[in-house]
Chain A
């Protein structure tokens, strides 16, 4: 996923520098400023987290020490590469990654921007103690802002792209949730389940199937799960309940589409499937179904 997203929209290094009007001089200015801060770089973390603790969303996003440690060390890496100012593909890639990370944890963009401007304050007011001439200092301020703009552009671009992708994935998951129970033969109902089965969906399926059984008095119901994303304990229990309910209404439920991998995980998880009839393919289930209702199928 990371590689795909980089290729799709991330332009060349030159393009990015051009957009933000960054010239070799600017990069040199950023480096000079970095050199003036020198060894004090690691102090950034202390200042940054002192500020962060005053923010209400702090605990929400940085609650455990293990994660915090990793975040902090990658933050130092991030700013070191910033003041190294070697804008190459690897540099751009780390900014893409930052955008992805923020999108995944759902960090709001305002929090990110607040963090960036606070970092600017820390570097220019807290860690800088002189060393550049007034002209050099003024020039480096402008160059730092330009490079910061390049960084944030990539981060935000990636962020919005990924959020849009997640949104699309969620809508797709929801769209797949329709439950078209179909009578494919006299007395045989079928429902292919695609996507995810959560408790709401399981209830929808149950209600739709039972209503259809009531209406058609079907004797066989085939539920094909070859398109189901995950069969864990909870999902299996939902499926077992559906088979029980249909059985009580006089309709035998078969589950088709069990791959060998799913058969294995079901047994390893210790799920008791009882007397639920299962088959690997829909075809096998259909054959059993035809036998149950007393229809014999032969090739013409």
Chain B
């Protein structure tokens, strides 16, 4: 396991596990954080030639539709770089509110935990 920093900001951390970039988000993704976050993530994917990005949201308790749109953008960018992306560990409250707001989930893959996601990727 290899800390890839960004963690100094306390808002997100990036870790490489089994050839996957695991991005753990610690707080709200308002515009400025989001830009830095996406730049960091995409750079790590390029550096490590990771095949997948796991977006770990298990510490996120509130996610509004705009935040979700931002996350979907990162997922699309990751896709353009040839890596797959998986949402991981969404909390029940967050999942319920996104569903209530009828968030568009086309093409979104989600998994319960980082372990499950890694297992699924290995299984391929």
Contacts and interface: CB of A to CB of B under 8 A. Distances in A.
Interface of A: 206-207, 210-211, 213-214, 217-219, 241-242, 244-251, 274-275, 294
Q: Main SS of chain B's interface residues?
A: mixed
Q: Which of A214, A217, A250, A251 has the most CB of B within 10 A?
A: A250
A192 B102 CA distance: 24
Given A247-B110, A249-B110, A250-B88, 4 more contacts: A241-B100, A247-B108, A248-B94, A249-B112
A248 B99 contact: yes
21 contacts: A211-B92, A217-B113, A218-B112, A219-B116, A241-B102, A242-B99, A244-B95, A244-B102, A245-B96, A245-B98, A245-B99, A248-B87, A248-B90, A248-B94, A249-B90, A249-B112, A250-B90, A250-B111, A250-B112, A250-B113, A275-B106
A249 B92 contact: yes
B18 to A, nearest CB: 18
A241 B99 contact: yes
B88 to A, nearest CB: 7
A231 to B, nearest CB: 18
Interface of B: 87-88, 90-92, 94-96, 98-100, 102-103, 105-106, 108, 110-113, 116-117, 123
List the 3 closest pairs (A to B, CB-CB), nearest first. A210-B92, A245-B99, A250-B111
Contacts of A207: 92, 96
A115 to B, nearest CB: 47
